[in-house]
Amino acid sequence: MLYLYKGVILTKDNLARREWQGDKKYCSCSSNENIQYLLFDCHYAKFMRRIIYILFNLKLPTSVHNFVYRLVGRDK
């Protein structure tokens, strides 16, 4: 969880900062891959997340920081 909050998960944008030469686009669309996109902006992620949140009657997070705060019990 701490890695998610600090933004150090090895997404393509983080790899590119380390001089990785691969394609920065997400595999299922033409957007650049980053944590915000993978967890919140991607249409597939939104669909799956909404199903889970509806089933458990949860409030949708709006960002990575908001998501982490809610997981650790500090609703923001």
Domain count, the chain: 1
Neighbours of 73 (CB within 10 A): 6
**What range defines the domain where residue 50 resides?**
2-71
pLDDT in tens, the chain (76 residues): 567 667 777 888 888 888 889 888 887 788 888 888 887 888 888 898 889 888 988 877 777 788 777 777 765 4
66 within some domain: yes
76 within some domain: no
Burial (CB < 10 A; 0-12, 13-18, 19+), residue 35, is buried
CA–CA separation, 7 vs 15, rounded Å? 12
Strand partners, 25: 32
- Residue 27 in tokens: 């595999």
The model carries a pTM of 0.60
47 within some domain: yes
